[in-house]
């Protein structure tokens, strides 16, 4: 069942392995949405609760913080946690438990359950962007993927084995959840690391999944400088190669014909090994 509170509202999930660059992409897409006059909500779905720091200049209080204090979370709690950053992006961090204690996905479930039952909280937003940790695709971490068949899921990856493995696992999760009304894959976001044969491998991976590479983001020192400054890349280096690539992705998302959503066909173990066979030294062409 869909979760949109008004026609035209869009929900977009960017997910992938931890450290692959999801937050950089989400944060800058959010700012570029605001620059188009859109009301944008960014939901950080990671126990580190650092998705929105470039917008609010600090680590925000989280859904899990309130749950620990009160033993429950309700509509007014979520409303109190929503804050508009200096970039104009609205922010919400789900947070997570202390290390080694509890389920890290519980906070995501708490937040989205409240948002589902109090849909008017989402009504003002044109775009809701989920910054989702994708090392695991179970329990609470899968909740944003369940929010309706028009939810667009972008898999953020490089051409290295572990990020592609994580992206393929997410594709398995999307495929399983799609059968129950969940979201669909809109494409890969290739956050390039400069490894040999990277572009060819990601093209072949996207084709195997039944989707496309929606963006090629080059390795760019400007990204690190923006992170160090605690600002978005669009602010600190708007003419950098990485910023230009994210701007093209934003143009396609916000001004294009719409997301091309597919139920993916993830690789099984043998196909995954074959994908990387040519990449390995001495591998088959």
Q: Which residues are catalytic?
A: 17, 22, 48, 135
Q: Which residue has the tokens 């929503």?
A: 82
Query: Which residues are within 8 A (CB) of 6 and not within 5 positions of it... i.e. 6 or more apart?
Result: 123
The token duo for 225 is 């400088």
The b-or-e profile of 100-126 (16+ CB within 10 A means b, else e) is eeeebbbbbbbbbebbeebeebbeebb
The token duo for 114 is 């409240």
Q: Where are the beta strands (DSSP E) in 146-275?
A: 152-157, 184-191, 213-217
The token duo for 197 is 């044969």
Q: In 3D, which of 34, 282, 16 has the Cα closest to residue 162?
A: 16
Q: In 3D, which of 201, 129, 122, 132 has the Cα closest to residue 160?
A: 201
**Can you tell me the distance from the alpha carbon of 206 to that of 200, in angstroms, rounded to the nearest whole number?**
10
Q: In 3D, which of 146, 144, 204 has the Cα closest to residue 15?
A: 144
Query: Around Cβ 245, how many Cβ atoms within 10 Å?
Result: 22
Pairing of strands 90-93, 83-84: antiparallel
**Can you tell me the distance from the alpha carbon of 191 to that of 263, in angstroms, rounded to the nearest whole number?**
22
**Helix, strand or coil for residue 45?**
strand
The token duo for 86 is 């200096």
Query: Which residues are within 8 A (CB) of 223 and not within 5 positions of it... i.e. 6 or more apart?
Result: 21, 24, 233, 240, 242
């Amino acid at each position: 069942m869909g979760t949109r509170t008004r026609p035209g509202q869009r929900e977009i999930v960017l997910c992938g392995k931890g450290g692959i660059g999801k937050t950089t992409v989400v944060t800058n897409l959010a700012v570029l949405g605001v620059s188009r006059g859109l009301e944008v909500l960014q939901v950080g779905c990671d126990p580190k609760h650092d998705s929105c720091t470039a917008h609010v200049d600090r680590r925000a209080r989280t859904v899990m913080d309130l749950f620990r204090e009160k033993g429950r979370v309700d509509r007014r709690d979520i409303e109190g946690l929503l804050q508009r950053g200096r970039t104009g992006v609205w922010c919400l961090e789900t947070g997570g438990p202390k290390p080694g204690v509890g389920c890290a996905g519980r906070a995501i479930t708490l937040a989205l359950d409240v948002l589902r039952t109090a849909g008017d909280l989402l009504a003002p937003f044109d775009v809701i962007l989920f910054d989702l940790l994708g090392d695991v695709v179970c329990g609470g971490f899968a909740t944003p993927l369940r929010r309706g068949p028009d939810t667009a899921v972008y898999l953020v990856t490089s051409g290295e084995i572990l990020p592609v493995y994580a992206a393929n696992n997410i594709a398995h999760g999307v495929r399983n959840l799609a059968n129950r009304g969940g979201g669909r894959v809109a494409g890969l976001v290739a956050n390039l690391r400069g490894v040999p044969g990277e572009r060819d491998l990601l093209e072949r991976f996207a084709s195997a999944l039944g989707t496309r590479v929606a963006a090629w983001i080059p390795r760019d020192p400007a990204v690190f400088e923006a992170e160090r400054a605690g600002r978005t890349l669009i602010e600190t280096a708007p003419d950098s190669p990485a910023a230009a690539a994210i701007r093209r992705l934003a143009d396609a998302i916000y001004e294009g014909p719409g997301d091309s959503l597919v139920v993916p066909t993830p690789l099984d173990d043998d196909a995954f090994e074959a994908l990387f066979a040519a990449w390995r030294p001495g591998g088959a062409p």
